[in-house]
């Protein structure tokens, strides 16, 4: 059994001062939740000093500041580079207190000065309208992890330590958080940390026993099973357990000394020998009471060590004189007169406990990663272009993502310390395997002889693969927020696994970009969705879901971008743009299968820059008003729309068709709603104000209506897209079932162009016949007809 070291490293004076600093943190935590005035209790506590709405979470805060206090001791003594990750939900009081006591908060927000008036404002702002929330929001110095949604602290921590050899990320994991799926998989992150080139994560699992109203699982299993669990994960667990502050201070100090020495030993041996293996990294199980140091009982019910301490232990302070007195006694119990001087500033002997400058966890530059970010050294994406001669447009076939993989290979080659590729077990499946020519998949666990035969595994790989999108995107977010660059890819249908993580990162970027001026710009999060809905010949219905982009369009327009390049060259231009951007989430939808190529690289650059445009070669309306606009967005949608246009040009040569292709999805939204949006004049010039628009879309059709509904010609906009119809289908069969095929599009034009129905009745019948014949052929032969499979753009 792993035992707590028996040494007592703190002398009497050090023990007294660390405990006093921690008491000051706890005093601030209670004050933030309850008070709007009288911050130092210089006068008897009165109703008017208490907030009307009591919001916040007390239960986890004491353990957070306890860990912080002891980490400061180690940082200052050994000049360590450490950042703090607070996992427990809404644990902000336990983090905000230390940031204020270290002086960082007052430096960033001068009105929250280190005096009585500043402390009053500091208390009042917490969970108060127009100010800060009850979790570790972007406004909090020293944070790159909000904690408002549980499960991602550990993956964020591991992402931050990648390529940061001297950094230690102390990650406090809440025991409620530990029950989530993302957190459970994140424990395996230790198998991907190379002790030669990466930093270290020190997980601190805080077992306080309760969630909102229930016990936590890990707090109720036996010690032996808990220890075995973490040995099985590959850690050496150290247990710090108890409720007596003096004893716990000594245990925590000794345990941190042991854990940090073990981290340094592992790194030193690996770096000295040049041999990286999978070590057993230390972690700490910190078992403390819920609401530690709070009231023992409230109204005859147990409070400290109970779920009743999870949020606000008692909330009727303004109406219950007994509870007002209880609050006053509770706060006086921390002896604030010993902690703060007459002006309200932390006394000198306690101020000196914190590290200085950037060694403070609240001011560490890794937690404002934009300060450390260096621009990528990007190769010229034009060098990876598919050659598409004018007479071969729409005739050349290429896997759209394969040239992207070659481009990313050299992006990685040029940036071997600050760029990584993240994705599930699908790098080769998504045709990005060229990156392996520069760097393999990192793998610190056991290697077998057969792995050398195409396994692409390496101790020093820079490709991050794990079959957990949660963990991967968490790594990427931690990597980006601490100043580096990355690229994430996954199958389109399974991007929904990270829906909520995307939501949280988008909110973090929105607040950071628009409301926190001291946060420097970080590299954008780039997400490639491949193996898309329209090419699921063998996977079937389970792999058909283009709805992730619907979610993206719900988030802040200041940070979200969606691109659907129609071919490989446009994909290259889009990728280059995304890798150069900051403070955004760029979602790129591009299939991995072979597709016809329509653009030269120069044309792709122009088309990408505009985001939307008329394809003159597919149009015949130059100089006149079109009869119909054929629009499209997405690779397969574009091919079917072009095929439909070719049929119209062949059979109805007098019909004036304008062909519009969309790369930047937000071009379909008004400029007043999105920075990439179109003005009314721009939209009307492309789509007219009164002509029918047949729009073939990659995703769910209602998304186009949602974006474009304000434009004048919306009533004439007829959208085709995926409608949840399909299974094991040929490509054309799947398109026909969802009415995005060329034949249905021709029928739509005939139906919607005024006066065309009567004179094009025979063509409409022919299109209906083609649908029936092609469905029958697919069901009989298991493939599409040769004229479909081998179709090329005839114009």
Query: Which residues make Cβ contacts (< 8 Å) with residue 175, sequence separation at least 6?
Result: 205, 206, 207, 208, 209, 216, 217, 218, 219
Q: Closest Cα partner for 641 from 626, 628, 624?
A: 628
Output the six-digit token pair for 273. 């020998």
Q: What is the mean pLDDT of the chain?
A: 95
Residue 410: its pLDDT value, please?
98
- Inside any domain, residue 6: no
Q: Is the pLDDT of residue 641 over 60?
A: yes
Residue 757: its pLDDT value, please?
94
- Inside any domain, residue 369: no
Burial class (CB in 10 A: 0-12, 13-18, 19+), 496: middle
- Inside any domain, residue 3: no
pLDDT in tens, 502-540: 999 999 999 999 999 999 999 999 999 999 999 887 788
- Inside any domain, residue 278: no
Query: Which residues make Cβ contacts (< 8 Å) with residue 715, sequence separation at least 6?
Result: none
- Kindly report the pTM of this predicted structure: 0.96
Could you give the percent of the chain with pLDDT greater than 70? 99
Give the rounded distance of the alpha carbon of 197 from its chain centre.
Answer: 24
Residue 342 sits in the same domain as residue 464 = no
Choosing from 321, 336, 364, the residue where a domain stops is: 364
Q: Closest Cα partner for 256 from 125, 74, 478?
A: 74
Window from 107-121, 142-156, 710-724 with minimum mean pLDDT: 142-156
Q: Which domain holds residue 778?
A: 611-789
* CATH number of domain containing 531: 3.40.50.970
Output the six-digit token pair for 159. 């992402």
Q: Is the pLDDT of residue 90 over 90?
A: no
- Could you tell me the CA-to-CA distances from 64 to 88, 95, 139, 219, 695 in Å, in that order? 9, 7, 18, 17, 54
Total of domains in the chain? 3
Q: Is the pLDDT of residue 1 over 60?
A: no
pLDDT in tens, 399-443: 999 999 999 999 999 999 999 999 998 999 999 999 999 999 999
Instruction: Please calculate the CA angle 110-113-114 and round it to the nearest 5 degrees.
Output: 145
Residue 795: its pLDDT value, please?
75
383 and 376 Cβ atoms separated by less than 8 Å = no
- DSSP H or E run through 77: helix 61-78
Sign for the pseudo-dihedral over CA of 401, 404, 409, 415: negative
**Measured distance CA(182)–CA(742) in Å, rounded:** 43
- Inside any domain, residue 180: yes
239 and 4 Cβ atoms separated by less than 8 Å = yes
Sign for the pseudo-dihedral over CA of 590, 593, 598, 600: positive
714-725 burial by CB neighbour count: b if 16+ within 10 A, else e?
eebbbbbbbeee
**At residue 187, what are phi and psi to the nearest 5 degrees?**
-60, -25
Residue 106 sits in the same domain as residue 199 = yes
CA atoms within 13 A on the CB side of 403: 28
Residue 592 sits in the same domain as residue 615 = no
Residue 246 sits in the same domain as residue 385 = no
Residue 609: its pLDDT value, please?
97
Size of the chain in residues: 795
Residue 56: its pLDDT value, please?
87
Q: Is 396 left (phi over 0), alpha (psi -120 to 50) or beta?
A: beta
Residue 76 sits in the same domain as residue 186 = yes
Alpha helices in 484-564 (DSSP H): 499-515, 548-552
Residue 233 sits in the same domain as residue 150 = yes
Residue 17: its pLDDT value, please?
98
Residue 641 sits in the same domain as residue 531 = no
**Measured distance CA(218)–CA(216) in Å, rounded:** 6
**Measured distance CA(768)–CA(746) in Å, rounded:** 10
The conformation of residue 345, written as its DSSP 8-state character, comes to: P
* CATH number of domain containing 736: 3.40.50.920
**Measured distance CA(316)–CA(326) in Å, rounded:** 11
747 and 764 Cβ atoms separated by less than 8 Å = yes
Residue 573 sits in the same domain as residue 704 = no
Q: Closest Cα partner for 7 from 361, 217, 203, 252?
A: 252
Residue 89: its pLDDT value, please?
76
- Inside any domain, residue 684: yes
Residue 190 sits in the same domain as residue 42 = yes
Choosing from 364, 390, 407, the residue where a domain stops is: 364
Residue 542: its pLDDT value, please?
85
**Measured distance CA(520)–CA(163) in Å, rounded:** 20
- Could you tell me the CA-to-CA distances from 37 to 43, 66, 122, 278 in Å, in that order? 10, 26, 10, 53
- Inside any domain, residue 2: no
Give the pLDDT mean for 314-337: 96
Q: Is the pLDDT of residue 31 over 80?
A: yes
- Inside any domain, residue 279: no
Helix (H), strand (E), coil (C) string for 583-650: CCEEEEECCCCEEECCCCHHHHHHHHHHCEEECHHHCCCCCCCCCEEEEEECHHHHHHHHHHHHHHHH
**Measured distance CA(205)–CA(217) in Å, rounded:** 13
Residue 4: its pLDDT value, please?
58
Residue 615 sits in the same domain as residue 752 = yes
Q: Is the pLDDT of residue 314 over 60?
A: yes
Residue 462 sits in the same domain as residue 397 = yes
Give the rounded distance of the alpha carbon of 769 from its chain centre.
Answer: 48
Strand ranges inside 716-772, DSSP E: 717-720
Centre a 10 Å sphere on the Cβ of residue 773 and count the other Cβ atoms it contains.
12
Q: Is the pLDDT of residue 760 over 70?
A: yes
Residue 537 sits in the same domain as residue 650 = no
Give the pLDDT mean for 326-347: 96
Q: Is the pLDDT of residue 2 over 80?
A: no
240 and 4 Cβ atoms separated by less than 8 Å = yes
pLDDT in tens, 177-224: 999 999 999 999 999 999 999 999 999 999 999 988 899 999 999 999
Q: Is the pLDDT of residue 475 over 70?
A: yes
Pairing of strands 419-423, 485-491: parallel
Place of tokens 């299968």: 593
The full DSSP string for 433-456 is GGGGGT--EE--S---GGGGTT--
Give the pLDDT mean for 367-396: 96
């Amino acid at each position: 059994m792993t035992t707590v070291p028996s040494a007592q490293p703190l002398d009497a004076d050090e023990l007294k001062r660390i405990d006093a600093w921690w008491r000051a943190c706890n005093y601030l935590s209670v004050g933030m939740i309850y008070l709007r005035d009288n911050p130092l209790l210089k006068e008897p506590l009165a109703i008017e000093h208490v907030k009307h709405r009591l919001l916040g979470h007390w239960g986890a805060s004491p353990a957070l500041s306890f860990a912080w206090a002891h980490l400061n001791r180690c940082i200052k003594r050994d000049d360590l580079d450490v950042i703090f990750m607070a996992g427990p939900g809404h644990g902000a009081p336990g983090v905000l207190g230390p940031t204020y006591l270290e002086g960082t908060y007052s430096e960033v927000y001068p009105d929250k000065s280190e005096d009585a008036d500043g402390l009053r404002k500091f208390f009042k702002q917490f969970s108060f309208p127009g100010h800060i929330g009850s979790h570790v929001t972007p406004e909090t110095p020293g944070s790159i992890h909000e904690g408002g949604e549980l499960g991602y602290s550990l993956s964020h921590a591991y992402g931050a330590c990648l390529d940061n050899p001297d950094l230690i990320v102390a990650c406090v994991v809440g025991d409620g958080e530990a029950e989530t799926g993302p957190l459970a998989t994140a424990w395996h992150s230790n198998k991907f940390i190379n002790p030669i080139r990466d930093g270290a994560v020190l997980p601190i699992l805080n077992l306080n026993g309760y969630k909102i109203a229930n016990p936590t699982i890990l707090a109720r299993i036996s010690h032996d099973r808990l220890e075995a669990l973490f040995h099985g994960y590959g850690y050496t667990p150290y247990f710090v357990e108890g409720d007596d502050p003096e004893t716990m201070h000594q245990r925590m100090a000794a345990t941190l000394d042991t854990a940090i020495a073990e981290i340094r030993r592992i790194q030193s041996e690996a770096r000295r020998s040049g041999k990286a293996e999978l070590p057993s990294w230390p972690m700490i199980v910190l078992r403390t009471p819920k609401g530690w140091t709070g009231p023992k009982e409230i109204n005859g019910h147990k409070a400290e060590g109970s779920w009743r301490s999870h949020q606000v232990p008692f909330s009727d302070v303004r109406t219950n004189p007994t509870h007002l007195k209880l609050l006053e006694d509770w706060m006086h119990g921390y002896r604030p007169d010993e902690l703060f001087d007459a002006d309200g500033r932390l006394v000198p002997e306690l101020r000196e406990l914190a590290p200085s400058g950037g060694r403070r966890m609240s001011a560490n530059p890794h937690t404002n990663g934009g300060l450390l970010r260096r621009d990528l050294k990007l190769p010229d994406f034009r060098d990876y272009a598919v050659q598409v001669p004018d007479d071969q447009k729409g005739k050349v076939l290429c896997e759209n993502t394969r040239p992207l993989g070659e481009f990313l290979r050299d992006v990685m080659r040029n940036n071997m310390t600050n760029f990584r590729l993240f994705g599930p077990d699908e790098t080769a499946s998504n045709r990005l395997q060229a990156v392996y020519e520069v760097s393999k998949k990192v793998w610190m666990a056991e290697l077998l002889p057969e792995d050398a035969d195409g396994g692409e595994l390496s101790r020093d790989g820079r490709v991050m693969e794990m079959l957990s999108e949660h963990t991967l995107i968490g790594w990427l977010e931690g990597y980006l927020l601490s100043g580096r660059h990355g690229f994430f890819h996954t199958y389109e249908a399974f991007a929904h696994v990270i829906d909520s993580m995307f939501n949280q990162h988008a909110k973090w970027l929105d607040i950071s970009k628009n409301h926190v001026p001291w946060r420097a710009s970080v590299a954008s999060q780039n997400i490639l969705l491949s193996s898309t809905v329209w090419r699921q010949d063998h996977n079937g219905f389970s792999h058909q879901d283009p709805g992730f982009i619907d979610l993206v369009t719900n988030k802040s327009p200041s940070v979200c971008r969606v691109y659907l390049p129609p071919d490989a060259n446009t994909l290259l231009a889009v990728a280059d743009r995304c890798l150069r951007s900051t403070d955004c989430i760029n979602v790129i939808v591009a299939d991995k299968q072979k597709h016809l190529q329509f653009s030269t690289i120069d044309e792709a650059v122009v088309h990408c820059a505009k985001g939307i445009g008329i394809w003159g070669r597919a149009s015949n309306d130059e100089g006149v008003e079109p009869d119909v606009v054929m629009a499209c967005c997405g690779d397969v949608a574009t091919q079917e729309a072009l095929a439909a246009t070719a049929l119209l040009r062949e059979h109805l040569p007098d019909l004036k068709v304008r062909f519009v292709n969309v790369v930047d999805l937000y071009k379909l939204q008004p400029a007043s709603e999105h920075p990439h949006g179109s003005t009314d004049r721009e939209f009307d010039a492309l789509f007219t104000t009164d002509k029918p628009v047949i729009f073939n879309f990659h995703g769910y059709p209602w998304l186009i209506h949602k974006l474009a509904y304000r434009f004048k010609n919306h009533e004439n906009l007829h959208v085709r897209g995926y409608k949840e119809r399909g299974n094991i289908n040929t490509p054309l069969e799947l398109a026909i079932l969802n009415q995005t095929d060329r034949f249905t599009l021709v029928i739509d034009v005939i139906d919607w162009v005024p006066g065309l129905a009567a004179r094009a009745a025979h063509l409409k019948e022919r299109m209906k016949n083609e649908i029936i014949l092609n469905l029958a052929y697919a069901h009989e032969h298991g493939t599409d007809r040769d004229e479909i499979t081998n179709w090329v753009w005839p114009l």
